[in-house]
Structure 1
Amino acid sequence: MNYHEIAEKIIELKNADLEFREKLIESGKLGEGYNKEMAEIHNKNTKTLNEIINKIGYPTLDKVGKEANEATWLIIQHSIGQPNFMKKCVKLLEIAVYQNKANSKNLAYLTDRIAVFENKPQLYGTQFDWDESGELSPNIFDDLKKVNQRRKSIGLNSIEEQTKIIRKQAKNNKQSPPADFEKRKQEIEEWKKTVGWKK
């Protein structure tokens, strides 16, 4: 098995994703719903990564190295239109983290992302969205004290510190809140049904 070639392929997929994201940032279109072309890139990347995982198992640090391992997580994190794939990967990532072959922070982000799509409280408060007052805030999480304890245990800053960072990044990326908050919320819920996050 040529893990070096596989690692290069995974990094290639990640780069295609981030290059297109950069274009959206430059044109000020990043916050305008889920871009159709971006969704196509994400789904294509998911398909390729799924084939790789079926062949070699989860691309762990010892198999593909740090860069491709991080890239694997990013592709999974962006495979939002593929609930079954994300759920399959979170289980594989749990095992990899337990074996010290992947980053526990990545597992926290992926666990939270799935929770948000399933309308469940986050455990680590890593996922943010626009709130009614036009600010980026963490999606629903369980208990602030517990969340901050969990964050600290894996080397993350507090949720309060992270909120400041996220809001500053949004300003730098020229992101602005949706013009119609309720309409956007409704669109997200409909999208979740369409792709299978909600029955």
Structure 2
Amino acid sequence: MGVFDTIKQALGMAAEADATRKADPEDLFGMSTAYVTMEADLDYHSAGEAALCFSGVDSTAFTRAKEEVEAILDAGGEETGTVADFRRDTHGYEWVVLADPDFEDLVTSIHFAADTLIESGFGSRLLAAVFAFERDGANAYWVYSFRRGAYYPFVPAGGHERDGMAEFKLESVLEGELGLEADKEYWYPLWPDGDTHPWGAALADDR
């Protein structure tokens, strides 16, 4: 299987075929309470960044949709201070990376971006929303899969290894607050690729 086939499988094609429920952008607001639990019970703090990943399409309508997302985030950023950065990774996937010390602003901005793409008719292009946390210099992520309509934790441990114990702890503590992915086969890793966070990195299906 080639790298692009692997990415397609991990990010959408297989997950879309096996989807168990329709994704709802309102699910993203679940992070508004989950991050409080992350801090109080697990001592994880927001890293001040979150990102929305989607697959682009070469069309005028999609370009307009992206421009609308950018305009909305720019307008909102004037009031909240949220900084939006649009990126494309080496595999052609699009990212909207948001930076803001206020976690509520990150959640709201991610929701606006996702909802705008859905209203523009490109909801099927949405892949994942990713929220970054840190503790003692280590990163942890909550990933919302739009193809599965569920969250899962991802804690990289370096060298394309995962901290399974940390992921299990996150799952056990947050299962009452977030709609979690029950099938761990769909807990796809987002390996950082020369960056602190996965933004711009390819998703691999090697656990």
TM-score in same-fold range (> 0.5): no
Is the strand fraction higher in 1 or 2? 2
TM-score (ref. length: structure 2): 0.29
TM-score (ref. length: structure 1): 0.30
Is the helix fraction higher in 1 or 2? 1
Larger-Rg structure: 1
Structure possessing the higher relative contact order (Cα contacts under 8 Å, 6 or more residues apart): 2
